[in-house]
Chains A and B, each alone.
Chain A
Amino acid sequence: MENFLKKFTQNLAYYFSEHLNKPIAKPLWIYISLSHKCTYRCQMCGVVNILEGYELSSDTVKRILDEIASWKWDSTIVITGGEPFLREDIFDIIDHGSSLGLKLEVVSNGSLITPALSKKIIASGLKNIAISLDGSRKESHDLVRAKGAFEKALDAIKNLAASKRALKSGPQISVWTTIMKENVNELFEMIPLVKNLGVECLVYHPVVVAQEDMQNTSSEARFWLNNNDLEVLKKQVAKISSYEKHYGLVAFLHDPYMWVKHFKQELTKKEWKCNPFVFINVGPDGNVRSCGAAFGNIIDSSLGDCLKSSQADKARKIMKGCRKPCLQTCWANPEADSLPDIIDTFIRDLRRDKPGAKEKNEVLTAALAKLTEYEELVKECEI
């Protein structure tokens, strides 16, 4: 009951933040990149070469986590890198976050996850551990990452699953797969593979050709899908989505057929829209970004101040003007794109829950009060 109201108010906040251009909502996804150090030099990822030698100190990260906890917002904090497990203080940070009641996730390539480490991970307060796996065959995964990477990733997943079975609780084990030219014909094959390994969630996301230049999506680009591949992708998507309907496992943040459109470069902003308030990324140098331009540094100010700064306004304007939807899982909150949708979802969820009349009345009245509040705000503001 409370959760529905919370979700509803959050979605309202995103909706009105976007339209009033005011940081009413706090970010839904906060990516913290501890450092760009990595065990691999993957072909589709260029971050290793940027900001070399920068590291976010343990204290800074803890300060960020403290601030996020004070928002009492339903955010997810994703600790990423480089390779996060290269940091020795990683469990220190995770413990700090989980003690504050935050949702923490870690993205790893799995190269360092030995049985000993996996026990630690499962025992920590993490909500989710994501391993990157770029194919069902050794060749395709190793081609883009490094020799032996496939085996290591599979081992990591096996270790994690074994530890979780032993402990009977722990973070969700998920696999992230980048859709690209090399693995387009084995996307569906991933499902039986990871399911047998004990993975609970599989996420696909289209390739970003170069981290430095998100907009470079020409069909000549290295990993981009050409017309023949698109036919393959269509068939794969059909299989995957029908599997998802019956068995779950695969998590879609949006309609998977949008991938095909995305690779055809026919995706419009009507179908896919970035909400600039949904996502922020804290880099190893402490710079806070949403997409592209940085707006403030976490080392000499707080996250809240960064979000309120005039630079943040500018960055968000640039995001709104973005013409090429990148279709990454992080940028959008489609639930909050239209007000009627938000209301409908809210009412539908309430009905499904079948609460008592008194409770329901309370929740609805609260929702109405919230709406009235925003109505006043809209009347005051200039759009």
Chain B
Amino acid sequence: MRNLKEVILSITNRCNLRCRMCDIPFGKVSELSTDQWKGVIHDASRLGAETIVFSGGEPLIREDIFDLVRFARKNNMNACITSNGLLLDEEKAAKLKESAVSVVNISIEGVKETHDSLRGSGSFDKALAALDNLKKYKIESTVASTVSKYNYADLPDIVNTAKVHGSTTVRLQPFNIIFLKDPKRLSEFLIDKNDIPKVEGIIKRFIDSSREYKIATNPSSYLAKIPVYLSGRKLRPRSCSALWYSCPINPNGDVFPCWIEGADNKLIGNITQSGLYELWLSEKRISAINLIKEKGCKGCLMSCYDEAFDNQLSKEYVISQAKKIKKIIDYRKVINKTRQFLNRQLTNLKLRYRFYVSYRGSFFKLIKRRLANVYNKQKETGDDRMPNKEKILLEISKAKIKINKEIQSL
């Protein structure tokens, strides 16, 4: 059983924007209290989770977000916030810095016109201001986009924006129907099949420019799948590790195996009834996961399992590579030090040898003689052992046989 790695907390459904591709804010549910969320975070750390993602809705709407982030950090976990940036003024940025947040993820959908048309007018400038505030307080910021028919053309510009405003990463995720209440609106966001090569070209340009600006993105094999997916094809991953190491939790405390399945109300349980720890280790969850594995899932291209597409960007791989590099650096230090030490010793030895030879004669002959002595001693001790009774008796019998032969030959 693989360990839990990240817990995605949708701490609220409330939002200060009404975006075109997201109907979450319309689903009004009760929310867990601060203490209940802290209980979840504590359980997550007990299960060995490394990351807590605060999502929503707009997580900054909740006043206790800083408290929760601080708590997660105290439990030795990374704390990430996914925000639209509207509320992220300087004051909030300072508070976030104080609560030691790891990463803040700001959604940017493209150039100003695209962004504003999708998210609401004025939201683009505020998002950029949020990025600037984060930069000012030296908080790592990343940029996230939901790729759809409306914004795929702007992808290279997003990289540009991210670079200018000091973000380290651009995370892409194609549009998914689960965020909409009405499934009929799906076709509104999908691209025409004939446009696939065009989108592919843009994705390629996006990857190129991200490399040029040294901005991190999803694995390129994952990005390469986006055009096909957006054309309406169902993609089923061969293995979805998200089932094993990622845990989504709804604002009301519902825990389900995966976001997509969660939309079908495949519940594992609720935080208010039993803690995350019990739920995660429960047989119900394991059987649910096994069921999904056996029957196969609906298929998605959510970024929560993008690691499955590229081994080279999987966390373990990155960590092991980093460790290797660190080791190599250490080795070089050690080697350098050892070389210096050896050089010193060598000069010492040379001087001593010269001194020694001056009155003792050649060092090597001395060693040779000593070795020869040791060798001889070993030989002698080997020979010192007298033959035992059996050996002597055997020799006598052999001698008798020889003499008997001689007698017979007469």
> A: which residues have CB within 8 A of B?
19, 265-270, 273, 320-321, 323, 339-340, 342-344, 347, 350, 357, 360-361, 364-365, 367-368, 371-372, 374-375, 378-379, 381-383
Q: Contacting B379 at CB < 8 Å: which of A270, A350, A381, A382? A: A270
CA distance A382 to B400 in the complex (A): 22
Closest chain-B Cβ to A363's Cβ sits at a distance in Å of 10
CA distance A217 to B386 in the complex (A): 26
Q: Contacting B388 at CB < 8 Å: which of A265, A365, A368, A383? A: A383
CB of B373 within 8 A of CB of A360, answer no
Closest chain-A Cβ to B132's Cβ sits at a distance in Å of 87
A320 to chain B: closest residue by CB:
B384
CA distance A379 to B410 in the complex (A): 31
CB of B383 within 8 A of CB of A343, answer no
A358 to chain B: closest residue by CB:
B410
**Chain B residues within an 8 Å CB radius of A321:** 384
CA distance A70 to B277 in the complex (A): 106
CB of B407 within 8 A of CB of A365, answer yes
Q: Contacting B395 at CB < 8 Å: which of A270, A339, A344, A372? A: A339
Closest chain-A Cβ to B128's Cβ sits at a distance in Å of 90
B379 to chain A: closest residue by CB:
A268
**Chain A residues within an 8 Å CB radius of B372:** 265-266
**Chain B residues within an 8 Å CB radius of A364:** 403, 406-407
A339 to chain B: closest residue by CB:
B395
CB of B410 within 8 A of CB of A361, answer yes
Q: What are the nearest 8 A-B pairs in CB distance? A: A339-B395, A343-B399, A269-B383, A383-B389, A269-B380, A268-B379, A270-B383, A357-B410
CB of B406 within 8 A of CB of A347, answer yes
A372 to chain B: closest residue by CB:
B400
Closest chain-A Cβ to B314's Cβ sits at a distance in Å of 66
| Given A265-B376, A268-B380, A368-B407; 5 other pairs, CB 8 A cutoff | A350-B406, A368-B400, A372-B400, A375-B400, A378-B389
A343 to chain B: closest residue by CB:
B399
CB of A383 within 8 A of CB of B392, answer yes
Closest chain-A Cβ to B383's Cβ sits at a distance in Å of 5
A367 to chain B: closest residue by CB:
B403
CB of B404 within 8 A of CB of A368, answer yes
Interface membership of B20, Cβ < 8 A: no
**Chain B residues within an 8 Å CB radius of A372:** 400
**Chain B residues within an 8 Å CB radius of A350:** 406
CB of A265 within 8 A of CB of B380, answer no
A19-B386, A339-B399, A347-B402 known; A268 vs B376 contact (CB < 8 Å): yes
Interface membership of B377, Cβ < 8 A: yes
Interface membership of B346, Cβ < 8 A: no
Q: Contacting A339 at CB < 8 Å: which of B373, B380, B396? A: B396
CA distance A114 to B384 in the complex (A): 49
What class of interface size applies to chain B in its complex with A?
Answer: 20 to 34
**Chain A residues within an 8 Å CB radius of B395:** 339-340
CA distance A365 to B403 in the complex (A): 8
B404 to chain A: closest residue by CB:
A368
Give me 15 A-to-B residue pairs in the complex whose CB atoms sit less than 8 angstroms apart, sorted by A's number: A19-B386, A265-B372, A265-B376, A268-B376, A268-B379, A270-B380, A320-B384, A339-B399, A340-B399, A343-B403, A357-B410, A368-B404, A372-B400, A382-B389, A383-B389
CB of B399 within 8 A of CB of A371, answer yes
Interface membership of B205, Cβ < 8 A: no
CA distance A102 to B320 in the complex (A): 93
CA distance A375 to B400 in the complex (A): 10
Interface membership of B335, Cβ < 8 A: no
CA distance A367 to B379 in the complex (A): 34
Closest chain-A Cβ to B402's Cβ sits at a distance in Å of 5
Closest chain-B Cβ to A128's Cβ sits at a distance in Å of 33
**Chain A residues within an 8 Å CB radius of B398:** 339-340
CB of A371 within 8 A of CB of B387, answer no
Closest chain-A Cβ to B223's Cβ sits at a distance in Å of 78
CA distance A176 to B383 in the complex (A): 31
**Chain B residues within an 8 Å CB radius of A382:** 389
CB of B393 within 8 A of CB of A266, answer no
**Chain B residues within an 8 Å CB radius of A342:** 399
CA distance A262 to B65 in the complex (A): 93
CB of B383 within 8 A of CB of A368, answer no
CA distance A266 to B376 in the complex (A): 7
Q: Contacting A378 at CB < 8 Å: which of B384, B396, B404? A: B396
Closest chain-B Cβ to A20's Cβ sits at a distance in Å of 9
**Chain B residues within an 8 Å CB radius of A367:** 403
**Chain B residues within an 8 Å CB radius of A378:** 389, 392-393, 396
Closest chain-B Cβ to A374's Cβ sits at a distance in Å of 7
A265-B373, A368-B404, A378-B393 known; A323 vs B380 contact (CB < 8 Å): yes
CA distance A269 to B378 in the complex (A): 11
B396 to chain A: closest residue by CB:
A375
CB of A375 within 8 A of CB of B383, answer no
CB of A19 within 8 A of CB of B396, answer no
CA distance A365 to B410 in the complex (A): 12
CA distance A344 to B384 in the complex (A): 24
A270 to chain B: closest residue by CB:
B383
CB of A343 within 8 A of CB of B389, answer no
A267 to chain B: closest residue by CB:
B376
B401 to chain A: closest residue by CB:
A343
CA distance A374 to B397 in the complex (A): 11
Encode B363-394 as 1/0 by CB contact (under 8 A) with A: 00000010011001101100110111100110
CA distance A266 to B404 in the complex (A): 40
CB of A368 within 8 A of CB of B403, answer yes
Q: Which residue, of B373, B386, B397, has the highest number of chain A Cβ atoms within 10 A?
A: B386
**Chain B residues within an 8 Å CB radius of A339:** 392, 395-396, 398-399
Closest chain-A Cβ to B169's Cβ sits at a distance in Å of 76
CB of B402 within 8 A of CB of A343, answer yes
B376 to chain A: closest residue by CB:
A268
CB of A360 within 8 A of CB of B410, answer yes
CB of A374 within 8 A of CB of B386, answer no
CA distance A383 to B389 in the complex (A): 6
Q: Contacting B400 at CB < 8 Å: which of A266, A270, A361, A371? A: A371
CB of A375 within 8 A of CB of B406, answer no
Closest chain-B Cβ to A322's Cβ sits at a distance in Å of 10
Closest chain-B Cβ to A381's Cβ sits at a distance in Å of 8
CA distance A360 to B393 in the complex (A): 25
**Chain B residues within an 8 Å CB radius of A383:** 386, 388-389, 392
**Chain B residues within an 8 Å CB radius of A371:** 396, 399-400, 403
CA distance A123 to B285 in the complex (A): 123
CA distance A80 to B212 in the complex (A): 105
Q: Which residue, of B377, B388, B395, B406, has the highest number of chain A Cβ atoms within 10 A?
A: B406
Closest chain-A Cβ to B379's Cβ sits at a distance in Å of 5
**Chain A residues within an 8 Å CB radius of B377:** 323
Closest chain-A Cβ to B159's Cβ sits at a distance in Å of 81
Q: Which of B231-277 contact A (CB under 8 A)?
A: none
CA distance A343 to B398 in the complex (A): 10
CA distance A210 to B395 in the complex (A): 40
